[in-house]
Chain A
Amino acid sequence: MNPRLPITKTPKCYVGGAFIRSESGRVTPLHDASGAFFANIPQCTRKDLRNAVEAAAKSGSGWAKRSAYNRGQIIYRLAEMIEARSAEMIEALQVGGQPSARAKTEVAATVDRLIHYAGWTDKYEQLLGNVNPVSSPHFNFTVTEPTGIVGVLAPEDAPLLALVSLIAPAITSGNTVVALASTSQPYPSIALGEMLATSDLPGGVVNLLTGFRAELLPTFATHAHIRAISGVANADERKAIKLAAADSVKRVHLLKTEETHDWFADSAQGLYEIRDLVEFKTTWHPIGA
């Protein structure tokens, strides 16, 4: 009797709540730590990015209108999905060559990060917004609103934790995300997509692309509907992104590749990561009978 031939998984990107291959049909072979062929990873193009932005735009207003409590529960649910499938995620990280202990720590930290932001959804507003005591007979209050579609550029280190650390504060306040995963270690983003799909997060809120960074960065920077860029970039990339982002007055929040970032630390999360990706809206109304 022949041994059973195992079924290999075809990695697909999670875009608009569906699993896609690049419209170009291009793939990049991914090798595991031992150098053996592991799978073909979609090599997304600017058209895939455009489609992802369309998906994000479609889901955006609905996601932003979800109650804070509901968004919190959904992000919590995502943490549950990853926790429950942590063995699978640890394996996904190990494809990139991470030792199992480190992979385990990263998955745990990722789950904890999501729990952290799940708890923020109904609290950040109370700290970032306020009532303003204007000197005229008006009631005046400042609230936050999501900026819109956020382009996330994940770094090469901590391919799961960093990606999630950048996505989570964005979706906490109701933004939608189009993220480009680590080029060298894209596979965890494929696994993350599969967990997002079962997390109650509406399709299109988080869209995960894999591909060549140099090819996609210009489109991230110039696409006028992407309202903010959040992530990690080197000096040349930062300059190129900011230059192109000026055309649509995009908000750019980029950490430097040349500096080290401890994604595991508590300082890599919090209120001000959320603040970077919101707009402040101030409303006035007369007080009179």
Chain B
Amino acid sequence: MSTSAHAAFRRLFHEIGTVDAVGVEERVAKFATRSIKKKSKLFGLKLAVTMVDLTTLEGKDTPGKVASLCQKAIAPHEGIDVPSTAAVCVYPAMVKHAKKHVAGTSVRVASVATAFPSGQAPLKTRLAEVRSAVADGADEIDMVINRGAFLSGEFSLVQDEIRQVVEACGSSTLKVILETSELETYDNIRAASFLAMQVLRPNDFIKTSTGKTSANATLGNNQVMLEAIRDFYFETGIPIAMKPAGGIRTAKQALQFLIAVKETLGDEWLNNQRYRFGASTLLNDLLRQIEKERSGNYQAPYYFSEAAESY
């Protein structure tokens, strides 16, 4: 690392403070011991459904696949009282298809952009992709930060790129993916959160992961980001929203993440304007547990459409 990059790290960490990894993990382990029963469980499960960014990010995505995804997002399960999800999340090429299907509903269309997931394209290309998705009707843009620049200490470059994407978004909401697994340490995750938040608008998001690397959202990196959001809010009054993505597959996990929100940022973040789950298989497990709470019986996965497991 160059001397100036080293100095940049030192300045940033001095300003925002550091994180002790073991301490974070002890804190989040306590969320996992919370016992959520009955009405409070049902409330949490339904709340989680409203926070899902129902996602498909495959090379093999087609307009047909996106159509059924949209249907699932609007009405996740027949016969029971379940709210719609917050959004569908698709590649830019699919935005216009998704937009058609969700028209007239509360479901928003989110699009990954900026050469997702690596971000390794010229800035010009990345910005053009954002503008194109917005032009196609994307309500929300999920961008990736320049991890290479971050890790080599070029913080102003990282921040400047985010700022330009904010501009390219127009009135669309921006979600900034830090790709926590590539930042590796909690210190870096906290630092990157601050770099992003400093140029974001109220209710823009910071987001953990693309879901395309080995490690995704964890209670630990979620916690570090929630605490960064809280500190930034105290300092500036600007509320930033949060989206863990990837790896959250079960209702139980989702409730643990929500408990973290409840106990770290409080009631004002317990809504889908301030908190989202980026997930594909989570929704069905939420539905399964909701149905179990309603009926008292454990449910088979094939009772739910688009189930990932067909055994």
Contact = CB atoms under 8 A, between A and B. Distances in A.
Interface of A: 136-138, 286-289
A286 B23 contact: yes
Interface of B: 20-23, 25, 184-186
B185 A289 contact: yes
A136 B20 CA distance: 15
B29 to A, nearest CB: 11
**Interface residues of A, dominant DSSP:** loop
- A-B interface, 4 closest residue pairs, ranked by CB to CB distance from nearest: A288-B21, A286-B22, A288-B22, A289-B185
Contacts of A138: 22
Nearest to B187: A289
Contacts of A289: 21, 184-186
A235 B60 CA distance: 92
A288 B24 CA distance: 10
A138 B21 CA distance: 11
Given A137-B22, A286-B22, A289-B186, 10 more contacts: A136-B22, A286-B20, A286-B21, A288-B20, A288-B21, A288-B23, A288-B25, A289-B21, A289-B184, A289-B185
Among B21, B22, B25, B186, the most chain A Cβ lie within 10 Å of the Cβ of: B22
A137 B24 CA distance: 12
12 contacts: A136-B22, A137-B22, A137-B25, A286-B20, A286-B23, A287-B22, A288-B20, A288-B22, A288-B25, A289-B21, A289-B185, A289-B186
Nearest to A285: B22
A286 B185 CA distance: 15
A286 to B, nearest CB: 3
A136 B29 CA distance: 13
B133 to A, nearest CB: 36
Nearest to A286: B22
Nearest to A287: B22
Nearest to A288: B21
A21 to B, nearest CB: 58
B247 to A, nearest CB: 20
B190 to A, nearest CB: 13
Contacts of B185: 289
Contacts of A137: 22, 25
B189 to A, nearest CB: 11
A288 B220 CA distance: 13
Contacts of A286: 20-23
Contacts of B20: 286, 288
B135 to A, nearest CB: 42
A136 to B, nearest CB: 8
A287 B184 CA distance: 15
Contacts of B186: 289
Contacts of B23: 286, 288
